Amino acid sequence: MIRVILHGAGGKMGRAFAALVQEPTDIGIVAGVDVRNMESAFPIYTDLEMIHEDADILIDFSRPDVLPNLLSYAADHHIPLILGTTGYSNEDLDSIAQASRQNAIFQSPNLSIGVALLTELVGHAASTLLPCDVEIIETHHRAKADAPSGTALGLAHAVSEAARQPLPFRHGRAPQDPPRSAGEIGIHAVRGGSTIGEHSVLFLLDGETIELRHHAQSREILARGALRAIRFMTGHSSGLYGMPDLLHEV
């Protein structure tokens, strides 16, 4: 059995992951970390350093500000780290890349296989259709803290990479804004209700529009992606990995 520490066990994604692992599987949660008092089938601690169980993988569904503790714990205990949290800054991403030289890290703001495929399709479409106007619209529940979502930014980067040059991102539009500039990618965040996550990428050409869209109907798809990431990362000692590696694993 692959032994997992679940960091952020009391959050929405932590609970979805724990519920899925209750099914018969080769993966088991040996300990969880969360600041909330909660009943659980596995021990819950308020701090990583309180854990005394041995583990093979550390997975996080919490907040960006705990990243230094996660990197330190995973390196000290020589176990791979899976980061499923969104909202990392460029400085955070630099820290992750640096830490991956010594320890195996899997980082993705969205662990859905469908979103991973969408990102590849967006890159392929962009390489065929550019130059054209590109707009990204994402919708999430009212409690989501970061905007735009990490997934929306990942889709925008896929378009920019296909262009083989940095393209400017415009976050939303206001009455005083100038008209659309050539090459910019518009990104729009909608917040409300209980929506799990919707992402649409529009390629707007003269006379026609192509839309690529993903609609998450349950957090279980993210939890299932996390299970695949755990199996994929088991045995890795160093390196930085993401959903493209998982999508094309042999």
Catalytic residue among 144, 171, 188, 248: 144
Q: How far apart are CA 151 and CA 52, in angstroms?
A: 34
- Alpha-helical runs (H) found in 169-239: 220-233
Q: How far apart are CA 226 and CA 223, in angstroms?
A: 5
Both tokens of residue 219?
């957090």
Is residue 144 among the annotated active site residues?
yes
Both tokens of residue 26?
């080769």
Q: How far apart are CA 148 and CA 214, in angstroms?
A: 16
Query: Within 10 A of 133 (CB to CB), how many other CB atoms are there?
Result: 18
Q: Which residues contact 199 (CB under 8 A, 6 or more apart)?
A: 115, 118, 136, 137, 138, 149, 151, 152, 155, 213, 214
Catalytic residue among 12, 77, 124, 140: 140
Would you name the residues annotated as active-site residues?
Answer: 140, 144
